[in-house]
Structure 1
């Protein structure tokens, strides 16, 4: 099993997840609830993250995720839905501030 590092700022929390894991698996690696989750299907927007480093490390975005982020006003490329992102290599993220 190939493990990849996910760093969550500003906490500086680092976890190792198996390659291809959804970011929601972060919750299984720490006792802290660090990313807010609601539906886990890309429909509520509770888990919007800002990718500080490694945007391409989170797998491809599908059209539904792109459209939903646009609906939320998150049109800059650095935003993703954590529940729709899969860790393919090292990345650094933070919870997006509310707009």
Structure 2
């Protein structure tokens, strides 16, 4: 299972949420499951978390690398949205036990 956690610029969480919604449709096509988007309720404001599960970590990283090589107009717009509206971000990768 992977989580991508972004701390958005103040007031820019909706833009990050919209970008995650775009990613979830792509991830569903790739066969990823249990797709979720979370926003903060406590803790740092404007935190957005995207979470999904996949069967193969290599498959995920292959897809991610391909996404950033010569991105088309839509992919570049998504990259720009994340880069221009987030202060920080990080990934968490877990093995799902049960």
Give the TM-score normalised by structure 2: 0.31
More helix by share: 2
Highest CA radius of gyration, 1 or 2?
2
**Structure with larger RCO (C-alpha < 8 A, sep 6+):** 2
